């Protein structure tokens, strides 16, 4: 009987640990959205001035731990940024982090595999959609929390119900023997 109780306790503790890990926001969504205001590179020193052409050879490089806004300022003021490669520097993305992406500027977003050397992750944001000269965008991480419960959450809930019902049954059984 003691072995069965020890096994039940280990199952409950293990499933609660799995459920806690599954509900944390370790798998965020990379989001590139328009800035509410359109500052220039001169007026906003905290933003990155991106002068590249959005190609794989000139990606926008960000630090996963310290994301910044960027302002598109190419040499040609009539240019449009129809696509953007966004890369995270090597060693900044935590191991086993699954990233997804989205944008209110570009309609298409996908991960680039295999990731080029020197980067932890890379995404391609592509048309329809574009940025023009002096337009800015934010790069942010939104926690990805599933709308459906993970199997470990259901297992944790079920083991909790079983524990409550078994405790109630034992107490009712003990009360009936006293009467």
Record the pTM: 0.67
Does a structural domain hold residue 76? yes
Return d(Cα 55, Cα 124) in angstroms, integer: 9
pLDDT per position as a tens digit, 125-171? 998 999 998 888 989 888 766 666 677 777 778 888 888 888 888 88
Range of the domain at 112: 25-144
167 lies in some domain: no
Count structural domains, the chain: 1
Q: Is residue 54 assigned to a domain?
A: yes
Residue 160 resides in a domain = no
Query: Minimum mean pLDDT among 28-37, 57-66, 126-135: which range?
Result: 28-37
Question: What is the C-alpha to C-alpha distance for residues 19 and 41, in angstroms, rounded to an integer?
Answer: 45
Residue 153 lies in a domain: no
Cis status, amide bond into 114, omega within 30 of 0: yes
93 falls within a domain:
yes
On whether residue 115 sits in a domain, the answer given is yes
Confidence of residue 97 (pLDDT cuts 50, 70, 90): confident
Mean pLDDT of 73-83: 91
The answer to whether residues 76 and 53 touch, using CB atoms and an 8 Å cutoff, is no
Q: What is the pLDDT of residue 78?
A: 92
Indicate the pLDDT class of residue 81, thresholds 50, 70 and 90.
very high
* In contact, 46 and 69? CB cutoff 8 Å: yes
Domain contains 13: no
Map 123-150 to HEC letters: EEEECCCCEECCCEEEEEEECCCCCCCC
């Amino acid at each position: 009987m003691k072995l069965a109780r020890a096994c039940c306790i280990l199952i409950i503790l293990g499933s609660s640990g799995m459920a806690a890990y599954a509900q944390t926001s370790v798998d965020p969504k990379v989001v590139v959205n328009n800035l509410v205001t359109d500052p220039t590179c001169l007026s906003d020193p905290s933003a990155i001035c991106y002068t590249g052409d959005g190609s794989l050879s000139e990606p926008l490089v960000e630090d996963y731990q310290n994301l910044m806004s960027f302002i598109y300022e190419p040499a040609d003021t009539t240019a449009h940024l129809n696509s953007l490669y966004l890369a995270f520097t090597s060693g900044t993305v935590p191991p086993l982090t699954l990233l997804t992406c989205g944008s209110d500027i570009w309609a298409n977003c996908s991960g680039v595999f295999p990731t080029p050397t020197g980067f932890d992750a890379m995404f391609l944001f592509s048309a329809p959609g574009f940025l023009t000269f002096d337009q800015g965008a934010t790069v942010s991480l939104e926690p990805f929390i599933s709308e459906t419960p993970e199997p470990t959450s259901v297992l944790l809930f079920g083991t909790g119900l079983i524990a409550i019902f078994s405790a109630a049954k034992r107490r009712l059984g003990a009360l009936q023997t006293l009467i």
